[in-house]
Structure 1
């Protein structure tokens, strides 16, 4: 009922030849085998097929009798390569739509988070990107600067799609991918998932993933929760434009100056900035993500804060204000007025979104990439999310059947002993 894969044969029919080659494996059987493996946390094909030989439950799930020979493990590898990640995404989307139909997901309140997945490579496969020889030969100043800007990182030779990343400053960099997931608030159904290289910032992905989740569900997102790693002005502005309430704790501005930007007052209506002494800074030279605001030198001359406000060697104050700075200010004020309902909803973010990542890693083999390459990692993420959604559907079905049984017992007449 819940796992209807009859549509799959038509979806992949163009990849098979009817009158040439060996008989193909039924596409539904292949997907059921893969899903059985992820449901049981058996993500390696060889081990899965060894288990399927003796596990009656797996044979029943894929429709094979005890006397029938199972496909070879290498067939699953070739099927993944032939189908490509887009078809696996459609399989995952079908599970989302089934959850919507079963009314265990509404798509109105969602939680967004990202998690690193260790790549399937060894430490011996890492090499240092070396540019000193090129820099010395060409006297390229920019190339020499790259050593100071962090571009001199280790790269993975055996899996170039995996990049060095870490989830904490006190932890070492590891070759990893990053999974970005959108989870529904009602029952923890995974509405959208995508995998990128490990160095991609979460703030670059959240708006795009919310749009993708809305396309999959056909429902409008009303509220989004995420941790402080997503608290960027452009993110708040994008959600404001979409009419979405963003429960994201706005980060305090990093203090790099005795007089930081947050001490200046910005008037969005008149597009002016005022310093601590009430002098007006007007916008001047535009940048890629904002604009410079300047004070004239004579306005700063004689100011009692000039010694701590002005940078060394400057006669006037200049600050950079991002394009979406007003949205960030509104988000900071909104954070101070969170209601109890808002706080409880944000607390659910941990055991909905972060809980899904923990469940996928501990129970379904997502702690480490099974195969190499971004495409293989994406397929693994889709199958894992599909397996989790099927678990949610199974629990909902069981609860529904139990409710019918209890209702029947309550309606049955009580007979005298």
Structure 2
């Protein structure tokens, strides 16, 4: 049965905790800003009408907020410290003689509620930032950051190793993997062969050394650096694939249409440029194709920029003046191959500067190349270059500030719980922005 929180009463000797909390205390400001009672409607379906009365849901979500806000190492430590902190007791609506919940209450709530409640908390902070005029919404900046999983590399096993398959606990691991895949189908790991028995959702990522990692993705609005969208994925998910889902989440959370998205090179894919074109969004993103051009140029070869397209004949002219004609259509890649006859390439004096292939040089052209060229040209504008430079510092600040709340290491295990941690962290960072807009509260009014 779901418990309902009662109003805080005066203590013995006419002592009330409210008189002991200063007017400008951060928790007093948070209490003014956030109505935690919203959680009753969000979680009521998880509780029955009979049985033992639970810890009130607003208290549970406040406890989790305290855990992250004060970067407490564990839930057990949080509960042990709680009786010693008058400000925490006041924030929770407790008295000095209130009974302290067992630390297991928090883990049970996470398992029962899932991540939707915490997503709603984050969304409400975004909505309040919009109402307070802290969000413009039209230009957004995005990036991702890796987070260490709460698991050791020693827990990784080879799923194709027969000796592991003979272990008694192998079937249990397979069952856990199937259960987890049902809850996170949209994220497909690149490497499913090596799996951590401790946290199967974490992915092995090689950054000099192989580590078990998650990845968090964020959208930040430039006006007050409010986080307007976020999600968590396994560490090996390509962040470029998450651009448009994050744009959609931002628009849903803020109610504002995006006109410009700013991101780094990994987001500069053909798919993202065309998706932005179709949505009427300018993509101030370095072109990923430029990276491949540099690699080709370093090998002393002509880049595709040296080949001139002729719309009238639907062909390319190479630097030596030879014609590359349309040869093959790739529907899956939405591209067309253009190529000169092998004999022509073999006899060309510029072949050493053009290709190392025996069959000659070929050029790929996207079916929507004209639209793609328009988007790429805009991405190289002076305004785009300025935004890309701004993005670097803006996103670094957002992630750097999050390290105060132990953002760079997973507190719990599993992708859903990684989502919960990120929602709580982003909600707190947004609340911090809201707190700066509050007028100082008179101590006599507070008491």
Alignment of 1:263 onto 2:293: no
Alignment of 1:286 onto 2:286: no
CA distance in 1, matches of 2:209, 2:91: 42
Matched-pair contact (CA < 8 Å) for 2:273–2:283: yes
CA distance in 1, matches of 2:73, 2:428: 12
Matched residue, 1:370: 411
Matched-pair contact (CA < 8 Å) for 1:268–1:326: no
Matched-pair contact (CA < 8 Å) for 1:117–1:176: yes
2:65 partner SS: helix
- How much does 1:274 deviate? 3.0
Alignment of 1:3 onto 2:34: yes
- How much does 1:270 deviate? 7.2
CA pair 382-85 structure 1, distance change in 2 beyond 3 A? same
Match of 1:174 among 208, 211, 215: 211
Matched-pair contact (CA < 8 Å) for 1:112–1:226: yes
Q: Give the TM-score taking structure 1 as reference length.
A: 0.82
Matched-pair contact (CA < 8 Å) for 2:277–2:375: no
Pairs within 5 Å for 1:198-213: 198-213=235-250
Matched residue, 1:194: 231
Matched residue, 2:85: 55
Match of 1:13 among 22, 38, 44: 44
CA distance in 2, matches of 1:69, 1:152: 46
CA distance in 2, matches of 1:184, 1:231: 20
Matched residue, 2:436: 395
CA pair 321-6 structure 1, distance change in 2 beyond 3 A? same
- How much does 1:114 deviate? 0.3
Match of 1:161 among 182, 193, 201: 201
Matched-pair contact (CA < 8 Å) for 2:283–2:379: no
- How much does 1:237 deviate? 1.6
RMSD, aligned CA: 2.7
CA pair 388-267 structure 1, distance change in 2 beyond 3 A? farther
CA pair 152-99 structure 1, distance change in 2 beyond 3 A? closer
CA pair 180-283 structure 1, distance change in 2 beyond 3 A? farther
- How much does 1:151 deviate? 5.6
Matched-pair contact (CA < 8 Å) for 1:223–1:245: yes
Matched residue, 1:277: 320
1:173 partner SS: strand
* 1:165-185 CA distance string (max 9 Å, x none): 14x5xx212100010111111
Gaps of 5+ in 2: 1-31, 164-189, 443-447
Gaps of 5+ in 1: 134-149, 405-417
1:191 partner SS: strand
Matched-pair contact (CA < 8 Å) for 1:165–1:175: yes
CA pair 67-32 structure 1, distance change in 2 beyond 3 A? same
CA pair 114-48 structure 1, distance change in 2 beyond 3 A? same
Matched residues, number: 377
1:187 partner SS: coil
2:33 partner SS: coil
CA pair 270-62 structure 1, distance change in 2 beyond 3 A? farther
CA pair 376-152 structure 1, distance change in 2 beyond 3 A? closer
Matched residue, 1:319: 363
1:357 partner SS: helix
- How much does 1:59 deviate? 1.4
Matched-pair contact (CA < 8 Å) for 1:234–1:324: no
Matched residue, 2:145: 115
